[in-house]
Amino acid sequence: MFFWDSTMVLLIPAILLSIYAQFKISSSYKHYSTIRSQSGLTGAQTARSILNSNGLYDVRVEPIRGRLSDHYDPRTRVINLSEDVYQGISLSSVAVAAHETGHALQHASGYFPMTIRSSFVPVANLGSGAGPILIMVGLFMPSFGWLLDFGILAFSFAVFFQIITLPVEFNASNRALALLQEGNMLGSEEVRGARSVLNAAALTYVAAALAAVLQLVRFILISRGRSDD
């Protein structure tokens, strides 16, 4: 949790991977943000073109504040692109916009992992917020020790959410690269740059999933340690 004990060493691999992933996405995004796409399309135009070619005329593309704050909202059917991506004509802008459009295509086609993930959002949010609190109460208040197991169960839903996110993100990236090639929006050399950006972004999700799994294992070990006392 938030205090040090011997089980903390389990989190070291996830921490190191997370640091590397953040460095990788930052460096890759920054590098390819300086390289203009040959098509000259902005991120917004890229997304709109892909949406229209797939008949998704009702999905909107809108700018949003923040850096790397891009996301697709299935509730409103809106692709939100950070201002740099929305207006940018770089390989990074095109790649990120295509990736988020990939999520819109997943939603439209009823992509099963995305359907599961969307339905798990409320439970996952509750588990990630309440789980650690219940675990802490169960640890420090023996009379409420049952809360420890209940907290672990709640946190496991948040872990499942992180795991199911992986195929959703990988599939969106694969769709994006295929669509960019099929639509002749990027040349073969440019696709390599776009792939570098999307692979770096995917690594951040891998790091988050690993951290969640290892944290869950840590909680279970702590619970078993208390049972043996």
Per the residue annotation, which of 62, 83, 100, 190 is the catalytic one?
Answer: 100
Task: Tell me, yes or no, whether 1 lies in a domain.
Answer: no
Task: Tell me, yes or no, whether 175 lies in a domain.
Answer: yes
Beta bridge partner(s), residue 78: 60, 73
The answer, yes or no, to whether residue 9 has pLDDT greater than 70, is yes
Q: Give residue-wise pLDDT tens across range 33-57.
A: 999 999 999 999 999 999 999 999 9
* pLDDT attached to residue 145: 76
Query: pTM here?
Result: 0.90
Show the domain range for 160.
Answer: 6-228
Task: Tell me, yes or no, whether 177 lies in a domain.
Answer: yes
Task: Tell me, yes or no, whether 128 lies in a domain.
Answer: yes
The answer, yes or no, to whether residue 17 has pLDDT greater than 90, is yes
- Structural domains counted in the chain: 1
* pLDDT attached to residue 141: 83
The answer, yes or no, to whether residue 4 has pLDDT greater than 70, is no
* pLDDT attached to residue 225: 73
Q: Give residue-wise pLDDT tens across range 122-173.
A: 999 999 999 999 988 988 887 777 899 999 999 999 999 999 999 999 999 9
* pLDDT attached to residue 228: 56
Active site residue 100: yes
Q: Give residue-wise pLDDT tens across range 67-97.
A: 889 999 999 999 999 999 999 999 999 999 9
Q: Give residue-wise pLDDT tens across range 173-193.
A: 999 999 999 999 999 899 999
Q: How far apart are CA 123 and CA 157, in angstroms?
A: 7
